[in-house]
Amino acid sequence: MGIEKLTDKEEKQEKIVTMFDDIASTYDLANRVLSFGIDIQWRKKGCDKAFEILDKKELTQVTDVATGTGDLLIYWKEQAKKNGVKIDKYVGIDPSVGMLDVARKKVDFAEFIEGKAQKLPIEDESTDVISISYGIRNVVDRVEALQEFNRALKPHGIVIILEFTKQDRRGVVNKIVDFGMKKVLPRVGGLISKNYEAYKYLPDSIEEFLTTEMLAKELEEAGFEMKYIKSFSMGISTLLVAQKI
C-alpha cells in the first residue's frame, strides 16, 4: 500500500495546525499584549448574548471549537455564574496538541478533545452552544465546519463566532488600524513568540477572509438564523451570533 497523499486543502490545514503548535506556550501572553486585554470583553459579550438568546437557566453542554488554550471556556464559566446559568459540561476541541497541552494545565473543569471543526468528535444534537473565537478563519473547509456545527447543536442551539473579518479600510483612522495590523502586530507577536511568520500570517489571513456579510450568509446557508452582529474597536473584531433553525 502506498502513502496517501494529502490534498492541497489538507496540507494547508496541517501547516496552520503546526504553526499553532509552535506558538502555544506564548499564545496567551501575545493575545493580551496585542489586544491590550480588550479581547476579554469581546469574549464575555459573546457569552452573555448567547445566554440572553437561549433564555435557559440550565444547559447540558457548551462546546468551544478551535479552543486553543481554553481561554473562552474560562469566560463561559464566569459569565454563566453571573447570569445564573448552570452548565453541566464544558468541552474544548482543537487540532493542535500543543495548544491542548496548555489548555489542560490551565482549565481544570473542562474536557479537551483533539479534533477539527469540520469533523467534530461529538454526537448529533448534543450541545446547546458552539463557540469559536478567532478560529473559523483558520478552518480551510469552513462551509463543512458550519454544517458540522448545525449537526452537533441541539434544536435552537446557538453558535457564537468572534473573528477578524475583512474590512474596507478607507479613511485616516482605518488606515492607522490597517498599519497596526499589518506592520506592528507581526513585529510584536513575533518578538513575544519568536515566530514572526505566525504573526505575519494573521493579517494576511484576514485579507484573504470573508466580510461580515459573507460569513453571515454562509451561516444562513448552513441552516442558521442570524440573531446578532456587532463590530468592535473600529471593525477590528466582529461578533456573530446565530441560532439553529
In the structure grid, which three cell numbers stand for residue 170, read together? 478607507
DSSP of 139-208: -SSHHHHHHHHHHHEEEEEEEEEEE-------SHHHHHHHHIIIIIHHHHHHHHHS-HHHHHHHHHHHHT
Is 128 known as a binding-site position?
A: no
Is 69 known as a binding-site position?
A: yes
Is 133 known as a binding-site position?
A: yes
Which DSSP category does 5 fall into? P
Closest CA to 104 of 92, 115, 95: 92
What's the per-residue H, E or C state across 74-117? HHHHHHHHHCCCEEEEEEEEECCHHHHHHHHHHCCCCEEEECEC
SS3 call for 134? coil
Determine the Cα–Cα distance for residues 174 and 157; give it in Å rounded to an integer: 35
Instruction: Enumerate the known binding-site residues for S-adenosyl-L-methionine.
Output: 69, 94, 133
Instruction: Enumerate the known binding-site residues.
Output: 69, 94, 133
